[in-house]
Amino acid sequence: MRDLGTRVGMRAQSLYAYFPSKYAICDAMFDESNRELLRRLTEVEPTLNPVERLHQLARLFLDFCVEDPERYQLLFQRALPRFEPSPESYSAAMDVLDTASTALRACGIGDARALDVWTAVIGGIAAQQNANEPGGDRWVRLTDEITDMFLAHFRRAKDAKNMGQK
Amino acid sequence: MRDLGTRVGMRAQSLYAYFPSKYAICDAMFDESNRELLRRLTEVEPTLNPVERLHQLARLFLDFCVEDPERYQLLFQRALPRFEPSPESYSAAMDVLDTASTALRACGIGDARALDVWTAVIGGIAAQQNANEPGGDRWVRLTDEITDMFLAHFRRAKDAKNMGQK
DNA sequence: GTCTATAAGATGATAGAC
DNA sequence: GTCTATCATCTTATAGAC
* Predicted confidence (pLDDT) per residue in B128-152, tens digit: 999 999 999 999 999 999 999 999 9
- Residue A144's nearest CA partner among A130, A127, A157, A125 is A125
pLDDT averaged over every residue in chain B: 95
- Could you tell me which residues of chain B have a Cβ less than 8 Å from any Cβ in chain A? 76-79, 113, 116-117, 119-125, 127-128, 131-132, 138-139, 142, 145-146, 148-150, 152-153
**Domain of B37?**
29-165
Q: Which of B78, B131, B149 sits opposite A131 (nearest CB)?
A: B78
Substitution target in B70, B117, B144 with the highest count of A β-carbons within 10 Å is B117
Residue B9 lies in a domain: no
pLDDT for A164 equals 60
- Residue B50's nearest CA partner among B8, B104, B111, B118 is B104
Identify protein residues whose C-beta is within 7 angstroms of any atom in strand D. A 5, 9-11, 13-14, 17-18; B 1-2, 12-13, 16, 20-23
Residue B24 lies in a domain: no
What tens digit of pLDDT does each residue of B72-84 get? 999 999 999 899 9
pLDDT value at B57 more than 50: yes
- The mean per-residue pLDDT over the stretch B23-37 comes to 98
Residue A23 lies in a domain: no
Subset of residues 5-24 in chain B with CB less than 7 angstroms from any atom in strand C: 5, 10-11, 13-14, 17-18
Taking the mean position of all CA atoms in its chain, how far away is CA A102? 14
In single-letter form, the type of residue at position B129 comes to Q
Residue B77 lies in a domain: yes
pLDDT value at A166 more than 50: no
Greatest C-alpha distance within chain A: 69
- The mean per-residue pLDDT over the stretch A111-133 comes to 98
Residue A76 lies in a domain: yes
CATH classification at residue B58: 1.10.357.10
B28 touches strand C (CB under 7 A): no
pLDDT class for B165, splitting at 50, 70, 90?
A: low
Number of domains in chain B: 1
Burial B83-107 (b: 16+ CB within 10 A, else e): eebeeebeebbeebeebbbebbebb
List helix spans (H) across chain B.
Answer: 2-7, 22-42, 50-67, 69-76, 87-106, 112-132, 143-165
Q: At what angle do helices A22-42 and A50-67 cross, to 10 degrees?
A: 150
Residue A160 lies in a domain: yes
Residue A22 lies in a domain: no
Determine whether the interchain pair A121/B124 forms a contact, defined as Cβ–Cβ distance below 8 Å: yes
Burial A10-28 (b: 16+ CB within 10 A, else e): eeeeebeeeeeeebebbbe
What's the CA gap between B105 and B98, in Å, rounded?
10
Which pTM value belongs to this model? 0.95
Q: Give the residue from chain A lying closest to B124, CA to CA.
A: A124
C-alpha distance from A45 to closest chain B C-alpha (Å): 28
Specify whether the CB–CB gap between A87 and A31 falls below 8 A. no
Contacts of B117 in chain A (CB under 8 A): 142, 145-146, 149
Q: What percent of chain B has pLDDT over 70?
A: 97
Determine whether the interchain pair A128/B123 forms a contact, defined as Cβ–Cβ distance below 8 Å: yes
Helix, strand, or coil (residue B137):
coil
Residue A63 lies in a domain: yes
- Strand C nucleotides with an atom less than 7 Å from a protein beta carbon: 1-6, 11-16
Determine whether the interchain pair B139/A116 forms a contact, defined as Cβ–Cβ distance below 8 Å: yes
Q: Give the residue from chain B lying closest to A79, CA to CA.
A: B79
Q: Is residue B42 packed enough to be buried (19+ CB in 10 Å), middle (13-18) or exposed (0-12)?
A: exposed
What's the CA gap between B131 and B134, in Å, rounded?
6
- The mean per-residue pLDDT over the stretch B91-103 comes to 98
In single-letter form, the type of residue at position B102 comes to T
Q: Give the residue from chain B lying closest to A138, CA to CA.
A: B116
